Amino acid sequence: MTVNWQQEVDQRKEALLDDLVELLKVKSEREDDKITADAPFGPGPRDALLHMLSYGERDGFVVKNVDNYAGHIEYGEGEEILGIFGHMDVVPAGDGWDTDPYVPVIKDNKIYARGSSDDKGPSMAAYYGLKIIKELGLPVSKKIRFVVGSDEESTWKDMDYYFEHEEMPDFGFAPDAEFPIINGEKGNISVAPQFASTNGGSYELKTFKAGLRPNMVPQDVTAVVTAPSVEKAESLKEAYHAYLEKSGVSGTAELNDTVVSFKLIGKSAHGASPQAGVNAATYLATFLNEFDFGGGAKNYLTVAAHIHLDVYGEKLGVAYEDEKMGKLTMNAGLFEFVAGEEGAYINFNFRYPQGTGKEQLAAGITDSIGQYVTTLKVDEKHSGPHYVPVEDPLVATLLAVYEEHTGEKGYEQIIGGGTYGRLLKRGVAFGAMFPGFTDTMHQANEFMSLDDLFRAAVIYADAIYRLAK
């Protein structure tokens, strides 16, 4: 049977967009202070999960909610299960938006909202691909299970819980990256050096805070410093303004007697591509480190300044490159120092290729900055490198669909980002961004091109059918 996939998507463009707009209105940021038994990651992720599952119920699919952790929308029968993995949670919106991040706006043929490209837009495109197959009554020989998660941007506890209750698909993909395909992902681990929160110099660091998530480059940083005199405080402020101008970043400094309150603005980016961002925290630390701090505060600023502009772990002694998977990257994503309170830390999030790992990272960091820290916390739950060979029928089929619908040659790609595709031994990420796209994931003014949204839906419909028929 020949299906005109483009025509089928064209007939559903308005409905697809309407559904996406309503989904994007749900503020699905994880909120740990609002977690309940009914909302394991806070009310937002739960509400977005329920909203997505309601589309499946409306459209006559078999739908299952697994205790508000995750759920699935299912079609077809067969011994094998084809899994499609999307997620409804989003990273915090942060500052710098031109519009309300949870009031979707369409302009210049793009839809702007948090989650538009990561991952509600791509998920909706894939869902409509499945919806087309169902509405046409196309025969399939496998069970197709669209798995909907709600904690992908944080701990993946949604999938831990889901797979304690549901069987693992045999193969599949996550519409959560880019075309032609992502068949390899670097390992992902966080390492957090801890510091004493003491002072000892003529300047005192009261607070230093930056970052929203380990997988986001900190866009904003604030710090409060007490100078030894009013004159020194005024001089500190003047020096800061000169530093901002020289460095090409913006910020403010406010005086209150001997207390100076600093703010510096950088640029957020996905933690898997720290080179695309401007780390506000390391810029401010580099400035403050030139002054007479002491104790744990001095150690803290020394390390934060030491890693300034280092996105490949070179200054930490952990740089590594693999011929196939490329370079290790490092994002210093979270900073917190409060004088007199335990728990001062910096979080390093590493995306590492095959050939290195937890032990090498811990050893290198200890050798490099061990003299400044009290302890080194290494994330015990982490993901190793993942790769599905290009010869695998899953990869070959998806590349063939991409080539047929774009006229462009497909090729394998390996990224630092982590997607649900790595949950499966034969799992990949497939779209929905096209080569040359502007990456706004985890940034202010996130958007997705409507042309790309609909084009992805065409590719997903054909791909799902070829894999399941």
Q: What DSSP string runs through 381-402?
A: S-B--EE--TTSHHHHHHHHHH
Q: Is 185 a catalytic residue?
A: no
Closest CA to 270 of 94, 101, 14: 94
Same domain? 163 vs 296: no
Look up the CATH number of the domain holding residue 313.
3.30.70.360
> Annotated catalytic, 314?
no
Given the residues 19, 151, 152, 170, the one annotated as active site: 152
φ and ψ of 290, to 5 deg: -80, -5
pLDDT, tens digit, 9 for 90 and up, residues 243-278? 999 999 999 999 999 999 999 999 999 999 999 999
Q: Does 1 score more than 80 pLDDT?
A: no
316 and 215 within one domain: yes
279 and 305 fall within a common domain: yes
* Same domain, residue pair 224 and 366: yes
Mean pLDDT of 365-394: 94
Phi, psi of 63 (to 5 degrees): -125, 140
pLDDT at position 417 = 85
Q: What is the pLDDT of residue 382?
A: 82
Among 378, 413, 442, which residue terminates a domain? Answer: 378
Residues 363 and 393 placed together within one structural domain of the fold: no
317 & 446 share domain: no
Give 31's pLDDT tier (boundaries 50, 70, 90). very high
- Pairing between strand 171-174 and 427-429? parallel
Whether pTM exceeds 0.95? no
pLDDT in tens, 313-357: 999 999 999 999 999 999 999 999 999 999 999 999 999 999 999
Residues 175 and 95 in one domain: yes
Asked whether residue 112 falls in the same domain as residue 72, the answer is yes
Per-residue pLDDT, averaged over 200-227, amounts to 97
Looking at the structure, tell me whether residues 229 and 148 fall in a common domain.
Answer: no
Domain boundary among 346, 378, 410: 378
- 348 and 251 inside one domain: yes
Pick the last residue of a domain from 360, 378, 396.
Answer: 378
State the Cα torsion 98-101-102-104 to the nearest 10°.
Answer: 60
Same domain, 178 and 255: no
pLDDT at 78 over 80: yes
Q: Choose, from 89, 170, 178, 452, the residue flagged as catalytic.
A: 89
Distance (Å, whole) CA 366 – CA 346? 14
Question: How many domains would you assign to the chain?
Answer: 2
Do 193 and 46 fall within a single domain?
no
Whether 204 has a pLDDT exceeding 80, the answer reads: yes
Q: How does the average pLDDT of the chain come out, rounded? A: 97
Q: Output DSSP code: residue 267.
A: B
Domain range for 359 is 188-378
